[in-house]
Chain A
Amino acid sequence: MKELASKVLKGDTRSVARLITLVENNSRNAANAMKIIHKHTGNAHVVGVTGVMGSGKSTLIYELARGYRKQGKTVGIVGIDPTSPFTGGALLGDRIRMQELACDSGVFIRSMGTRGALGGLTGAIFDVIEILDASGKDVVLVETVGVGQGEVDVVKMADTTLVVLVPGLGDSIQAIKAGIMEIADVFVVNKADRPGVDRAVAELESMLDLKHVEGERRTPVVKTVARKGEGVSELIQKIDNHMNYLKEQNLLELRRRKRYEAELVEIIRRELMSYIFDEKRLKGKIDDLVDRISMKKMDPYTGAEEVLERMLR
């Protein structure tokens, strides 16, 4: 694993890909490699991209990546799509919009399924961000499925969160109701070639006016036509500005702490689960308790207490 880790640190594509597979499969070996690379992380600007289905997130990410490449920066991209809770399968299609970048050695693209994690993220996302960061990528762009909790969870992982809206259909208002107002560091109104853009932007701006506090940073709104690459350099500028703001106000540290906390809790959760359901450890005990609970000889709370007591002993 030392060898794999050191190849990752050198930016070897194959090794980066292998290690991501290992973390996705929750392998022991992955943990050992992750222990080595953590020290080498913290340089990448992690940008989360969320928004309703079909709003143009992948197209936008492709254009952003091209923009960063023109500046000589390297880019990691992660696209997360939902895993079917019934079959465990997933159709990962975000790459379709990005294949022009497939052969650029300064870009690494990975598609992931949510694999049973709650919300629109996957438990492995924190590891994957660390891996891409440690492999030397300057910017890591993460596209998440735009459903409920997932949108809110992106905040925990990104330095900068983009919320992508589209004009018409009252989408913008709906999104704001779902608590999106709070999580956006930059609003993107994409598909600005469509009718109703100006109204959407005006609506958004007036909402922002309402919550804006004098003297504080105001969330910028950027109009884009991702399909034509329009507005993308302005968007990159706003993303950079946000990073500068985080640094100037000493907020970056705070954001990163949130990510590390979420990561730590996620690892503990994962370890606990595998401990509980491990045949050699608590699986037998759990089965036994479930028997008793279903026969009404015990209640689930007492059962849980027994398990916890045994673990903490």
Chain B
Amino acid sequence: MERKIRVLVAKPGLDGHDRGAKVVARALRDAGMEVIYTGLHQTPEMIVETAVQEDVDVIGLSLLSGAHLTLFRDVVTLLKKRGMDDVLVVGGGVIPEEDASKLKKMGVAEVFGPGTTTDEIIEFIRKNVKK
């Protein structure tokens, strides 16, 4: 049985651009993954419902604003509620060190800072994807 890694790339929150998210989405596609791209302004509910319907293995959240802690927490909590705890959640963006460690405690698998290469992200996903 052939299986393919499916990744949801979403941009929650209200801030305006998704260049970084698009770069990552393309890199994951070029690495042979199926990338579901949802665009800007996604609420945690939209993200989790999409993850359920698309049955993704990974959720990649791109964040710029300061609201990341609540947004991530809401996503992780909702995922648990929907029985999707096996989904790998990763984040990217400008996130302060202390927030990053808080996120990891919440269940976010990894937080990628601005210097991360797409290769590092791909490798992390391949190694850690569950199921």
Contact = CB atoms under 8 A, between A and B. Distances in A.
Contacts of B26: 91
B112 interface: no
A26 B1 contact: yes
B33 A108 contact: no
Nearest to A76: B53
B83 A91 contact: no
A27 interface: yes
Contact of A25 (B2, B35, B37): B2
B32 interface: yes
A28 B45 CA distance: 33
Interface string A66-77: 000000000000
A83 B2 CA distance: 15
A290 interface: no
B50 interface: yes
A264 to B, nearest CB: 21
Contacts of B54: 17, 109-111
A146 to B, nearest CB: 19
Q: Which of A18, A25, A88, A115 has the most CB of B within 10 A?
A: A88
A111 B7 CA distance: 11
Contacts of B35: 89-92
A21 B50 CA distance: 14
Contacts of A92: 34-37
B109 interface: no
Interface residues of A, number: 32
B131 to A, nearest CB: 10
A11 interface: no
A93 B37 contact: yes
Interface string B1-23: 11110100000000000000000
Interface string A17-39: 11011001111100000000000
B29 A14 contact: no
Contacts, number: 89
Given A91-B25, A102-B46, A27 B31 contact: no
B49 A103 contact: yes
A110 B34 CA distance: 12
B69 interface: no
A91 B52 contact: no
Nearest to B31: A89
Interface in A247-288: none
Contact of A108 (B4, B37, B43, B53): B53
A89 B29 contact: yes
B113 interface: no
Nearest to A91: B29
Interface string A83-123: 11001111111011001001100001111010100000000
Contacts of A110: 53-54
Interface in B47-87: 49-50, 52-55, 82-84
10 contacts: A13-B52, A14-B84, A17-B52, A26-B1, A84-B29, A87-B32, A88-B4, A89-B28, A91-B26, A103-B45
Interface of B: 1-4, 6, 25-26, 28-39, 42-43, 45-46, 49-50, 52-55, 82-84
